[in-house]
Amino acid sequence: MKIIHSDQILSAVKELIFCCVVNVENQACELLRQIQEDNEPAKWALDQIIENIDFAKQNNLPPCQDTGLAVFFLEVGQDVHITGGYIEDILNEAVRQSYTQNYFRKSTLDPLTRVNYNDNAPAIINTRIVKGDKLSIHFLAKGAGSENMGALYLLTPSKGRQGIIDSVVDCVQKAGANPCPPIIIGVGVGGDMEKACIMAKYALTRPTGTPSKDEDVKQLEKEILQAVNNLGIGVQGFGGKNTAISVAVEKFATHIGMLPVAVNIQCYSARHGKIVL
């Protein structure tokens, strides 16, 4: 059995949050530098995006004022024992301290009274128990501008593969320029309502541009990306061939009478990272 003290987790997660919030993921940055647009407004917007990302990184500043909800995906090894505190309390304290000490915008509030909690807690925490003696913590800073543009489609099985593609295209088309394209798209296929949505969010933690190891899913990702880019929304909605830079699909077994499809959109500012203790 591996023993991990709460102080070790707190310190590591605070650093993880800071690094993620001020740095756009390297793979996303590389894809942004590789894409090209033909029209001048889109070229200008792309240059501004890259300049902003570089400036933020050099000065330890968030590349976007929306520093998001704090989202965690945990994989807790069955042979891990955490001492000194409850894991969710530790993560929420790390969020409070990191967002307060680094002057990141605090966005969490009561959904009815709209009173801000002023510490960006509580976090959204998803936990899986897995084999082994490792604690894996993946953090994602998820802003509202992109999160608001996601959607859930409860399709009939007859819609098939094309129905999955059409659902993602419909979601992106309705979103337009709102999620600050070029976007990264997470898709969850199968399971039930909540499983599809969780998979779509989890798909965004995959290194941007990394295809699925499942060949069929990998091909589906290519087909969705092509269909989305055919919309012509382009960088920041100025038109062009780069509405999205990456599509990641996760799938799970589903019921014979169901075909759930969830779409979670991430803006170009992909801010996530992972630590393993």
**Structural domains of the chain in order of their starting residue, each with its CATH number:** 2-21+63-142 (no CATH), 145-270 (3.30.1330)
Whole-prediction pTM value?
0.96
Hey, which residues does 259 pair with through a beta bridge?
Answer: 155
Q: Is pLDDT above 90 for 9?
A: yes
Is a pLDDT exceeding 90 seen at residue 38? no
Write down the mean pLDDT value for the chain: 97
Q: Cβ(82)–Cβ(13) under 8 Å?
A: no
Tokens representing 219 are 């091909």
pLDDT in tens, 225-259: 999 999 999 999 999 999 999 999 999 999 999 99
**Phi/psi at 6 (5° precision):** -60, -35
pLDDT band at 263 (very low <50, low <70, confident <90, very high): very high
pLDDT in tens, 154-165: 999 999 999 999
